[in-house]
Amino acid sequence: MDTIKLIGLALVLVSGTLILLSLLKKNSFFNLRKIIKEQLALFQHSKHQYFIFYALPLVLAAGLAFLYTAKEDFFVMLNTILSIILSILLAVLTILSAKDFSEVQDNEKRNNVKRVVKETINTISFVALLCVFLLLFDLIMIAIKDIPVCGTFSIIVSAIIYYVFIIILLCLLMVIKRISNIILFDLEVKKE
């Protein structure tokens, strides 16, 4: 392997690891730890949902990785999909941030819908975080495509990518469900 490519790979690995560690610090500017913690807390009262959202996708991703190892064309296509998802999520986040429930008379209903909005915003932030992570990961994989790797490494990388993407899709389903509940609540309030 070319020495310059080895140096480049080492720089990418070291800097990427340091950036990731600094972003996950407790007092980080980005506060990624809080976003992840709040997302995982959504399932604290339902271990079954936690299993469906995080354990089963791991098994599915491993199976997919054994069937198909991701190649450059897959990474390019995934980057396009992730970019579209990310832009949609940011638009939805803008809409949610403008929601005002001050005209709702019933305190219990108002607090409930505020909780749903807060959880939805956190889920959107979590999915956006995963999208950015996967975009960066994919770009690195495209950049190092010429470096020969063993089959096991390709399977592990593919499994990681599939796992994160499956979680993104499941979280998108949750966001869609919650957005529809918020819209139905808005319609109900306007009737009253």
| Domain map (residue ranges) of the chain | 31-191
Model pLDDT, residue 28: 61
CA distance 167 to 85: 13
Task: Render pLDDT for 149-166 as a digit per residue (tens, 0 to 9).
Answer: 667 777 888 899 999 999
Residue 163: closest CA among 71, 70, 87, 40? 70
Model pLDDT, residue 148: 66
Model pLDDT, residue 110: 81
**Exposed/middle/buried for 115, CB within 10 Å: 0-12, 13-18, 19+?**
exposed
Model pLDDT, residue 29: 66
Phi, psi of 144 (to 5 degrees): -100, 20
Model pLDDT, residue 1: 56
pTM: 0.83
**Exposed/middle/buried for 60, CB within 10 Å: 0-12, 13-18, 19+?**
middle
Model pLDDT, residue 84: 94
Model pLDDT, residue 27: 65
Torsion, CA 13, CA 14, CA 16, CA 21, rounded to 10:
130
For the chain, percent helix, then strand, then coil, each to nearest 5?
80, 0, 20
Stretches where the chain sits below pLDDT 70 are 1, 23-30, 145-150, 190-192
Model pLDDT, residue 150: 66
